[in-house]
């Protein structure tokens, strides 16, 4: 609607009930805070056609009124937090003072629901000593709301998470990487800072970032690369860095629930974690070396995940058999019939492969990492009928290149198998994990973004 207004065409969005806060936040973030809209009761996507018609007809009078109103009469506003001021809490008891702070920050929706540490001037200054950059240096504008991510703002959110100065270069690099997410596979976007993760974060689906660190800094900081996802002492650093990143995403990028984060159900993956690749137990070059970085350089890669599956193998020992099980585990999902590719799924997969799977495959003699990715791509196939059933074929969004499906019966569509991924390049293998052949597979996309951590170390 904003793009239409830029062209001089009056535009009135119809906003489904619970999306009012999201509409206000989005129009502000995308440069037109005065954009007016009309609220209708139900979401259109899965609404019966007669109900779509009736709730739209009932909105006609409101549409006319908004179009003919004086634009100065009403401006929508969200609750604003004065980010230039300090929050002050007073009590004779430090514990009581901490409770007051946490209650207030949660009420302001600044925290993540867990107790946070005080971001005092002293704590923030200490964190600023962990980077070579100045407090006012701008790293990026951070999606989805494109707030300005300065080093000091990053340090404030890192302080809330309990981070230490030595963690700051990783957090800063992750923030930078997220701002570049998705541009690497599109030459028109490369280097422009255009972000493709914005729409995913604002979606009603449960997309969430995952940070993966490579290089010497992982061992130096103690980022776990074994049983790396989850709670506990072993994952303390993983949790702290991931939490600091999430709080930046929330408080700098305006990724607030029910404003610019509209998940239908949500996911625990939004309690972001930062993990390391288990480089010492991998038979292949590390992930960042595949991208052209040196083995002694440190990087952080940001993936956007959309689900998780534990792929178990209960006894296979040959490389091909292990890969067949893994390829089958990658085959869950849907085919993107809204875009022009004919006969492919269009999905991406992040594979966290434990050493007990990676080593038999990598030492087999036949399977380089690239060969393993090619095998997985070729064997990760699914039923066209089942993969496309999520969208009615008469839907106007179905691409012309997929119209041939309509000429097949449902049984014929079920018998046609297509690759889940467009190419082996859509399969990302990172060696992570402890013992046992239990591989984690994540639907993912857009393409991950990687940034050098060393650039931010003092």
Q: What is the pLDDT of residues 357-410, one digit of tens each?
A: 999 999 988 899 999 999 999 999 988 888 888 888 888 888 888 888 888 898
Residue pair 245/272 in contact (Cβ under 8 Å)? The answer is: yes
- Contact between 313 and 351 under an 8 Å Cβ cutoff? The reply is no
Q: Phi first, then psi: give them for residue 364, nearest 5 degrees.
A: -65, -30
Quickly count: other Cβ atoms within 10 Å of residue 410's Cβ: 8
Gyration radius (Cα) of the chain, Å: 24
Q: Is the predicted pLDDT of residue 285 greater than 80, yes or no?
A: yes
Separation CA 437–CA 319 (nearest Å): 12
Per-chain mean pLDDT for the chain: 87
Tokens of 216: 């010497």
Q: Is the pLDDT of residue 261 over 80?
A: no
Average the pLDDT over 94-105 and give the result. Answer: 94
Length of the chain: 458
Residue 357: closest CA among 448, 443, 447, 440: 440
Band of residue 186 on the pLDDT scale cut at 50, 70, 90: very low
pTM of this structure: 0.85
**Lowest mean per-residue pLDDT among 103-117, 197-211, 214-228, 420-434:** 197-211
User: Is pLDDT at 17 greater than 80 in this prediction?
Assistant: no
Number of other CB atoms surrounding residue 109 within 10 Å:
16
């Amino acid at each position: 609607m904003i793009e239409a207004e830029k062209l001089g065409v009056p535009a009135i969005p119809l906003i489904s009930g619970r999306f009012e806060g999201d509409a206000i936040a989005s129009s502000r973030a995308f440069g037109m805070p005065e954009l007016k809209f009309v609220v209708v009761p139900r979401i259109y996507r899965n609404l019966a056609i007669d109900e779509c018609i009736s709730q739209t007809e009932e909105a006609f009078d409101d549409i006319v009124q908004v179009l003919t109103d004086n634009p100065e009469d009403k401006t929508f506003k969200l609750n604003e937090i004065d980010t230039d001021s300090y929050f002050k809490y007073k009590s004779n008891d430090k514990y009581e003072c901490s409770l007051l702070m946490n209650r207030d920050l949660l009420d302001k929706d600044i925290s993540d629901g867990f107790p946070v540490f005080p971001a005092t001037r002293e704590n923030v200054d200490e964190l600023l000593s962990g980077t070579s950059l100045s407090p006012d240096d701008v790293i990026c504008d951070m999606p989805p709301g494109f707030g300005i991510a300065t080093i000091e703002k990053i340090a404030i959110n890192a302080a809330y998470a309990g981070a230490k100065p030595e963690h700051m270069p990783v957090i800063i690099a992750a923030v930078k990487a997220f701002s570049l997410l998705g541009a690497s596979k599109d030459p028109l976007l490369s280097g422009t800072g255009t972000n493709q993760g914005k729409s995913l974060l604002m979606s009603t689906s449960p997309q969430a970032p995952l940070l993966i660190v490579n290089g010497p800094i992982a061992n130096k900081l103690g980022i776990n690369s074994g049983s790396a996802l989850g709670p506990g002492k072993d994952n303390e650093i993983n949790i702290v860095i991931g939490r600091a990143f999430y709080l930046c995403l929330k408080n700098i990028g305006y990724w607030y629930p029910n404003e610019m984060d509209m998940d239908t159900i949500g996911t625990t993956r939004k309690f972001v974690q930062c993990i390391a690749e288990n480089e010492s137990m991998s038979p292949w070059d590390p992930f960042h070396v595949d991208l052209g970085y040196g083995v002694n350089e440190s990087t952080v890669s940001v993936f956007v995940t959309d689900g998780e599956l534990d792929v178990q193998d209960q006894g296979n020992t040959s490389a091909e058999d292990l890969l067949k099980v893994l390829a089958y585990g990658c085959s869950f999902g849907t085919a993107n019939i809204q875009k022009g590719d004919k006969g492919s799924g269009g999905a991406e997969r992040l594979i966290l492969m434990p050493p007990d799977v990676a080593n038999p495959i990598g030492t087999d003699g036949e399977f380089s990492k690239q060969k393993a990715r090619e095998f997985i791509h070729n064997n990760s196939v699914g039923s066209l009928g089942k993969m496309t059933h999520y969208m009615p074929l008469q839907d106007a969004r179905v691409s012309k290149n997929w119209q041939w499906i309509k000429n097949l019966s449902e049984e014929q569509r079920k018998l046609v198998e297509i690759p889940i991924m467009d190419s082996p390049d859509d399969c990302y293998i990172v060696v992570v994990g402890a013992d046992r052949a239990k591989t984690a597979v994540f639907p993912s996309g857009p393409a991950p973004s990687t940034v050098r951590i060393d650039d931010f170390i003092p």
